[in-house]
Amino acid sequence: MCGRYLLRSPVDALRRAFGFVETPNLAPRYNIAPTQAAPAVRQRREPAGERTIQLLRWGLVPSWAKDLTIGARLINARAESLAEKPSFRSAFRKRRCLVPADGFYEWRAEGKRKQPYLIARRDEAPFAFAGLWERWTPKEKGTGPEFIDSFTIVTTDANALLKPLHERMPVILAPSDYSRWLDPDATIENLTSLLRPAPENWLEFYPIDPRVNAVRNDDAKLIEAVGPHTAALG
Protein backbone atom coordinates (compact mmCIF):
# COMPACT_ATOMS: atom_id res chain seq x y z
CA MET A 1 0.00 0.00 0.00
CA CYS A 2 1.00 3.64 0.14
CA GLY A 3 -0.12 5.76 3.08
CA ARG A 4 2.58 8.48 3.15
CA TYR A 5 5.14 9.74 0.66
CA LEU A 6 7.48 12.62 -0.08
CA LEU A 7 8.23 15.01 -2.92
CA ARG A 8 11.29 17.21 -2.56
CA SER A 9 12.81 17.51 -6.06
CA PRO A 10 13.11 21.07 -7.45
CA VAL A 11 10.45 22.14 -9.92
CA ASP A 12 12.96 22.22 -12.82
CA ALA A 13 13.83 18.56 -12.19
CA LEU A 14 10.14 17.66 -12.03
CA ARG A 15 9.43 19.48 -15.31
CA ARG A 16 12.23 17.56 -17.02
CA ALA A 17 10.95 14.28 -15.63
CA PHE A 18 7.22 14.75 -16.31
CA GLY A 19 6.97 17.36 -19.06
CA PHE A 20 4.27 19.63 -17.62
CA VAL A 21 3.95 23.14 -19.02
CA GLU A 22 3.60 25.21 -15.83
CA THR A 23 6.29 26.51 -13.50
CA PRO A 24 4.52 25.99 -10.17
CA ASN A 25 5.79 27.10 -6.78
CA LEU A 26 6.10 23.74 -5.01
CA ALA A 27 7.67 23.62 -1.58
CA PRO A 28 9.45 20.39 -0.55
CA ARG A 29 7.07 17.98 1.20
CA TYR A 30 8.47 15.22 3.39
CA ASN A 31 5.29 13.75 4.86
CA ILE A 32 2.38 13.92 2.41
CA ALA A 33 -0.67 12.33 4.04
CA PRO A 34 -4.20 11.33 2.95
CA THR A 35 -6.76 14.14 2.48
CA GLN A 36 -3.95 16.66 1.90
CA ALA A 37 -3.42 18.40 -1.44
CA ALA A 38 -0.51 17.09 -3.51
CA PRO A 39 0.71 17.53 -7.11
CA ALA A 40 -0.61 15.33 -9.90
CA VAL A 41 0.23 15.41 -13.61
CA ARG A 42 -2.60 15.06 -16.13
CA GLN A 43 -2.81 15.25 -19.91
CA ARG A 44 -5.08 17.56 -21.87
CA ARG A 45 -6.80 16.58 -25.10
CA GLU A 46 -6.33 20.12 -26.41
CA PRO A 47 -3.60 21.05 -27.10
CA ALA A 48 -3.08 17.39 -27.87
CA GLY A 49 -0.73 15.69 -25.47
CA GLU A 50 -0.02 18.75 -23.30
CA ARG A 51 0.72 17.84 -19.69
CA THR A 52 -0.34 19.96 -16.76
CA ILE A 53 0.27 19.80 -13.01
CA GLN A 54 -2.15 20.82 -10.25
CA LEU A 55 -2.74 20.18 -6.57
CA LEU A 56 -5.36 17.47 -6.06
CA ARG A 57 -6.80 16.06 -2.84
CA TRP A 58 -5.32 12.65 -1.92
CA GLY A 59 -8.17 10.18 -1.49
CA LEU A 60 -10.47 9.56 -4.45
CA VAL A 61 -13.96 11.08 -4.19
CA PRO A 62 -16.14 9.57 -6.96
CA SER A 63 -18.55 11.89 -8.73
CA TRP A 64 -21.50 10.03 -7.16
CA ALA A 65 -20.26 10.37 -3.55
CA LYS A 66 -22.55 12.11 -1.05
CA ASP A 67 -19.64 13.93 0.59
CA LEU A 68 -15.85 14.00 0.88
CA THR A 69 -15.52 11.45 3.67
CA ILE A 70 -15.28 8.50 1.29
CA GLY A 71 -11.92 9.83 0.08
CA ALA A 72 -10.13 8.82 3.30
CA ARG A 73 -10.96 5.18 2.47
CA LEU A 74 -9.92 5.42 -1.19
CA ILE A 75 -6.29 6.58 -0.96
CA ASN A 76 -5.17 3.39 -2.74
CA ALA A 77 -6.73 1.32 -5.53
CA ARG A 78 -5.84 -2.33 -6.08
CA ALA A 79 -4.59 -2.87 -9.65
CA GLU A 80 -6.30 -6.25 -9.86
CA SER A 81 -9.82 -4.82 -9.54
CA LEU A 82 -9.63 -1.37 -11.18
CA ALA A 83 -11.81 -2.38 -14.11
CA GLU A 84 -14.58 -3.80 -11.91
CA LYS A 85 -14.78 -1.65 -8.76
CA PRO A 86 -17.48 1.05 -9.07
CA SER A 87 -15.24 3.55 -7.26
CA PHE A 88 -12.41 3.20 -9.80
CA ARG A 89 -13.57 1.74 -13.11
CA SER A 90 -14.64 5.02 -14.74
CA ALA A 91 -11.44 6.79 -13.72
CA PHE A 92 -9.36 3.84 -14.92
CA ARG A 93 -10.91 4.17 -18.36
CA LYS A 94 -10.88 7.95 -18.66
CA ARG A 95 -9.01 9.79 -15.91
CA ARG A 96 -5.47 8.63 -15.22
CA CYS A 97 -2.64 10.72 -13.81
CA LEU A 98 0.97 10.60 -12.67
CA VAL A 99 1.64 11.21 -8.98
CA PRO A 100 5.22 12.55 -8.66
CA ALA A 101 7.24 11.32 -5.68
CA ASP A 102 10.77 11.01 -4.39
CA GLY A 103 10.00 8.16 -2.03
CA PHE A 104 7.34 6.56 0.13
CA TYR A 105 7.13 5.14 3.63
CA GLU A 106 6.28 1.73 5.00
CA TRP A 107 6.15 0.40 8.54
CA ARG A 108 7.29 -3.01 9.83
CA ALA A 109 6.54 -4.52 13.22
CA GLU A 110 9.79 -4.99 15.13
CA GLY A 111 9.25 -6.16 18.68
CA LYS A 112 6.68 -3.97 20.40
CA ARG A 113 6.90 -1.09 17.92
CA LYS A 114 6.59 -0.40 14.24
CA GLN A 115 9.77 0.78 12.54
CA PRO A 116 9.25 3.21 9.61
CA TYR A 117 11.29 2.77 6.44
CA LEU A 118 11.85 5.07 3.49
CA ILE A 119 11.72 3.46 0.03
CA ALA A 120 13.26 5.47 -2.84
CA ARG A 121 15.05 5.02 -6.13
CA ARG A 122 18.70 4.04 -5.86
CA ASP A 123 19.64 6.89 -8.22
CA GLU A 124 17.59 9.38 -6.12
CA ALA A 125 15.59 10.43 -9.20
CA PRO A 126 11.94 11.47 -8.87
CA PHE A 127 9.44 8.91 -10.11
CA ALA A 128 5.70 8.58 -10.70
CA PHE A 129 3.05 6.44 -9.09
CA ALA A 130 0.23 5.34 -11.37
CA GLY A 131 -2.77 7.41 -10.28
CA LEU A 132 -6.45 7.86 -11.05
CA TRP A 133 -8.38 11.08 -10.57
CA GLU A 134 -11.99 12.17 -10.26
CA ARG A 135 -13.97 15.41 -10.08
CA TRP A 136 -16.61 15.80 -7.37
CA THR A 137 -19.19 18.59 -7.37
CA PRO A 138 -20.89 19.55 -4.08
CA LYS A 139 -24.64 19.15 -4.22
CA GLU A 140 -25.18 22.37 -2.27
CA LYS A 141 -23.98 25.38 -4.22
CA GLY A 142 -22.36 28.40 -2.68
CA THR A 143 -20.94 26.57 0.34
CA GLY A 144 -17.38 26.03 -0.91
CA PRO A 145 -15.39 25.36 -4.08
CA GLU A 146 -17.25 24.72 -7.33
CA PHE A 147 -15.62 21.29 -7.58
CA ILE A 148 -12.87 19.20 -5.97
CA ASP A 149 -10.42 17.07 -7.95
CA SER A 150 -8.99 14.11 -6.05
CA PHE A 151 -6.69 11.17 -6.75
CA THR A 152 -5.79 7.68 -5.64
CA ILE A 153 -2.55 5.71 -5.97
CA VAL A 154 -2.70 2.32 -7.68
CA THR A 155 -1.07 -0.58 -5.81
CA THR A 156 0.08 -4.07 -6.77
CA ASP A 157 1.93 -7.00 -5.20
CA ALA A 158 5.22 -6.07 -3.58
CA ASN A 159 8.40 -7.10 -5.37
CA ALA A 160 10.89 -9.43 -3.69
CA LEU A 161 12.90 -6.54 -2.24
CA LEU A 162 9.95 -4.93 -0.46
CA LYS A 163 7.92 -7.99 0.51
CA PRO A 164 9.56 -8.17 3.97
CA LEU A 165 8.13 -4.70 4.62
CA HIS A 166 4.63 -5.14 3.19
CA GLU A 167 2.77 -7.43 0.81
CA ARG A 168 1.67 -4.48 -1.38
CA MET A 169 3.49 -1.59 -3.04
CA PRO A 170 2.46 1.36 -5.24
CA VAL A 171 2.71 0.91 -8.99
CA ILE A 172 5.83 2.85 -10.04
CA LEU A 173 5.74 3.58 -13.76
CA ALA A 174 8.81 3.54 -15.97
CA PRO A 175 9.37 6.95 -17.61
CA SER A 176 8.94 5.30 -21.00
CA ASP A 177 5.39 4.33 -19.94
CA TYR A 178 4.19 7.77 -18.82
CA SER A 179 2.72 8.60 -22.22
CA ARG A 180 0.83 5.32 -22.44
CA TRP A 181 -0.64 5.72 -18.94
CA LEU A 182 -1.79 9.29 -19.70
CA ASP A 183 -3.08 8.58 -23.23
CA PRO A 184 -6.84 9.27 -23.09
CA ASP A 185 -7.42 6.78 -25.91
CA ALA A 186 -5.48 3.87 -24.36
CA THR A 187 -7.47 0.68 -23.95
CA ILE A 188 -7.80 -1.26 -20.70
CA GLU A 189 -5.92 -4.13 -22.30
CA ASN A 190 -3.04 -1.81 -23.22
CA LEU A 191 -2.84 -0.42 -19.69
CA THR A 192 -3.06 -3.59 -17.63
CA SER A 193 0.50 -4.67 -18.46
CA LEU A 194 1.81 -1.50 -16.76
CA LEU A 195 0.31 -2.48 -13.41
CA ARG A 196 3.21 -4.57 -12.18
CA PRO A 197 5.78 -4.40 -9.36
CA ALA A 198 8.81 -2.20 -10.01
CA PRO A 199 12.10 -4.02 -10.65
CA GLU A 200 14.04 -4.67 -7.45
CA ASN A 201 17.17 -2.96 -8.77
CA TRP A 202 15.35 0.39 -9.06
CA LEU A 203 14.81 0.74 -5.34
CA GLU A 204 16.42 0.76 -1.93
CA PHE A 205 15.08 1.22 1.58
CA TYR A 206 16.40 2.13 5.00
CA PRO A 207 15.03 2.78 8.51
CA ILE A 208 14.19 6.33 9.56
CA ASP A 209 13.17 8.14 12.72
CA PRO A 210 9.63 7.43 14.04
CA ARG A 211 8.95 11.19 13.93
CA VAL A 212 7.46 10.48 10.51
CA ASN A 213 4.52 8.83 12.30
CA ALA A 214 3.12 12.28 13.16
CA VAL A 215 1.69 14.10 10.17
CA ARG A 216 2.60 17.47 11.72
CA ASN A 217 6.30 16.62 11.23
CA ASP A 218 7.31 17.63 7.72
CA ASP A 219 11.04 18.37 7.43
CA ALA A 220 14.19 17.02 5.82
CA LYS A 221 15.35 15.26 8.98
CA LEU A 222 12.55 12.73 8.51
CA ILE A 223 14.47 11.01 5.71
CA GLU A 224 17.81 10.72 7.49
CA ALA A 225 18.81 7.07 7.85
CA VAL A 226 19.05 5.55 11.33
CA GLY A 227 20.40 2.27 9.99
CA PRO A 228 21.94 0.67 6.87
CA HIS A 229 20.40 0.97 3.41
CA THR A 230 18.44 -2.04 2.11
CA ALA A 231 19.10 -3.94 5.31
CA ALA A 232 18.45 -7.67 5.30
CA LEU A 233 15.23 -8.35 7.15
CA GLY A 234 14.53 -11.64 8.84
Enzyme catalytic residues: 2, 106
Burial code (b: 16+ CB inside 10 Å, e: under 16) for 81-90 equals: ebeeeebbbe
Side chain identity at residue 39, one-letter code? P
Residue 119 and residue 11: Cα distance in Å, rounded?
21
DSSP state string for the chain: --S-EEE-S-HHHHHHHH-BS-------EEEE-TTSEEEEEEE-TTTTT-EEEEEEEES---TT-SSGGGGGG-SEEEGGGTTT-TTTHHHHHH-EEEEEESEEEEEEEETTEEEEEEEEETT---EEEEEEEEEE--SSTTSS-S-EEEEEEEEEE--TTTTTT-SEEE-EE-GGGHHHHH-TT--HHHHHTT-SPPPGGGEEEEEB-GGGGSTT--SGGGG-BSS-TT----
